[in-house]
């Protein structure tokens, strides 16, 4: 996948994440896409606290898709969470679903994450590429990242 394609898909993930702005507090409004053969097959955004994070919402749509996770790429604006807070870890859910590669916009500055989500993915053999559309994603999410989240 070339850089332009990656950026176009991350932009779509950002737009999806913005849908969460009115409901996600105190969590950040993250967006996630699942892509297969260049096509978006699932979209997710942060739900109310205690309900699906963006990744979980997108992954929940995978069951109905033929061939499930084979060759599926994920685009997520913020590093997936590594820890079980109000909801299970999204990084572990991505591993469990068998996602092939994860494109991340920015690292989560939350002290409980901060690279730990990436480590969970890489330790399980999932390819990760960080920093797609980094400046735009940071501009979008940073206002929401200074507050307590989990």
Please give the residue ranges that form the binding site for Zn ion (CB under 5 A): 53, 81, 90
Q: Which residues are catalytic?
A: 55
8 C-beta neighbours (distance < 10 Å), count: 12
Task: Give the CA radius of gyration of the chain.
Answer: 14
Question: For Zn ion, which is the closer residue by CB, 85 or 98?
Answer: 85
The rounded distance, in Å, linking the Cα atoms of 63 and 1 is: 25
User: 34 pairs with which residues across the strands?
Assistant: 42, 74
The rounded distance, in Å, linking the Cα atoms of 118 and 11 is: 20
Question: For Zn ion, which is the closer residue by CB, 38 or 50?
Answer: 50
Find the shortest distance in angstroms from Cβ 91 to Zn ion. Answer: 8
Find the shortest distance in angstroms from Cβ 37 to Zn ion. Answer: 26
Residues 6+ apart with CB under 8 A from 86: 49, 50, 150
Question: For Zn ion, which is the closer residue by CB, 42 or 81?
Answer: 81
Find the shortest distance in angstroms from Cβ 42 to Zn ion. Answer: 15
């Amino acid at each position: 996948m070339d850089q332009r394609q990656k950026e176009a898909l991350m932009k779509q993930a950002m737009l999806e994440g913005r849908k969460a702005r009115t409901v996600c507090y105190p969590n950040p409004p993250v967006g996630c896409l699942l892509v297969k053969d260049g096509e978006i097959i699932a979209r997710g955004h942060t739900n109310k606290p205690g309900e699906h994070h963006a990744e979980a919402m997108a992954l929940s749509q995978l069951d109905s898709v033929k061939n499930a996770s084979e060759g599926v790429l994920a685009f997520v604006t913020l590093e997936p969470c590594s820890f079980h807070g109000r909801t299970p870890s999204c990084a572990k859910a991505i591993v469990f679903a068998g996602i092939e590669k994860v494109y991340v916009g920015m690292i989560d500055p939350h002290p409980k994450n901060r690279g730990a989500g990436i480590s969970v993915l890489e330790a399980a053999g999932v390819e990760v590429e960080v920093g797609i559309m980094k400046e735009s994603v940071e501009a979008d999410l940073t206002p929401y990242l200074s507050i307590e989240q989990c």
